[in-house]
Amino acid sequence: MRILMGAGGASLLFLSLPVARGAWEAQKADAVMTDLRRGHPLDPGEVRAGISAFDRAIAADATAGRYLDRSELLGGAALMPDLKVSDAERAAWLSRARMDLEKGLADAPARGVDWLRLAALIDVQDGASREMLPPLLLSIEYAALIPQTWAPRLRVILDGWPYLDEPQKERISEYMKQSWRAAEDRRFFARVIRSPVDELIIRYFLRGEPGAQKELTDLIRHKTRH
């Protein structure tokens, strides 16, 4: 019996080693991930080292969370205009980020923020298309009221407008009104506007919402003065 118990303990230890190794390697990317999430300037060498740490972590123990974390670093760094890396490296990072998102979300489909990141990546890489609508709508389903998602999601919605059918427009209109009511600071509605068409689309989505049209006008005027 003792022999069997000892063998069982050894088996458990052996099976847990990849998990521990993966966690150890992933921790090496903590500093650069913190800088990325806080919007601090990034060093190309530190970004590459963080990516390599995630590579080793995934090789040791591939989990949905690690794929999604690596995608966040790859995509976030690639979209930082001041980061001094080549266009070819940025493009490679974006492609890897998208593949990681697809792998991670296949096993963790309730990650609304990551569905939004996938929709945004499709928009950045390929331009607006119907392909970005499913992840966009899933991001609304799973993460509608996370304030950090409102501005980037609104930008994706505006880009995807030509591809929305009527039921999707109505669904997004309800979401827009919901986020308008929940937002303590509504200035992002004006900040994302790049053209008169963008303004008209937002006004369409907020139609019927009490006071929204006048307040949006005031927000746009304030934006143009500053």
Helix (H) / strand (E) containing 77: helix 64-78
Provide, rounded to the nearest whole percent, the portion of the chain with pLDDT above 90.
Answer: 84
More confident residue, 67 or 16: 67
Question: Per-residue pLDDT for 66 more than 80?
Answer: yes
- Confidence bin at 3 (pLDDT 50/70/90): very low
Average pLDDT, the chain: 90
What value does the mean pLDDT take over residues 168-174?
Answer: 97
pTM for this structure? 0.87
Cα(226)–Cα(221) distance, integer angstroms:
9
Torsion, Cα 113 116 120 122, to 10 degrees, reads 120
Question: Per-residue pLDDT for 226 more than 90?
Answer: no
Question: Per-residue pLDDT for 177 more than 80?
Answer: yes
What value does the mean pLDDT take over residues 2-29?
Answer: 57
What is the DSSP code (8-state) at residue 128? Answer: S
Q: Which tens digit of pLDDT belongs to each residue from 103-118? A: 999 999 999 999 999 9
R_g of the chain computed on alpha carbons: 21
Residue type, 158: L
Predicted pLDDT at 8 = 45
Q: Please report, for the chain, the start and end positions of each structural domain, with discontinuous segments joined by +.
A: 1-108, 111-226
Q: Which tens digit of pLDDT belongs to each residue from 117-170? A: 999 999 999 999 999 999 999 999 999 999 999 999 999 999 999 999 999 999
Q: Which residue has the tokens 């928009």?
A: 123
Cα(19)–Cα(61) distance, integer angstroms:
6
- Tell me how long the chain is: 226
Closest CA to 102 of 68, 131, 132: 68
Predicted pLDDT at 74 = 96
Predicted pLDDT at 95 = 96
Predicted pLDDT at 225 = 76
Mutual orientation of helices 87-107 and 112-126 as an angle, nearest 10°? Answer: 140
- Confidence bin at 11 (pLDDT 50/70/90): low
Question: Per-residue pLDDT for 12 more than 70?
Answer: no
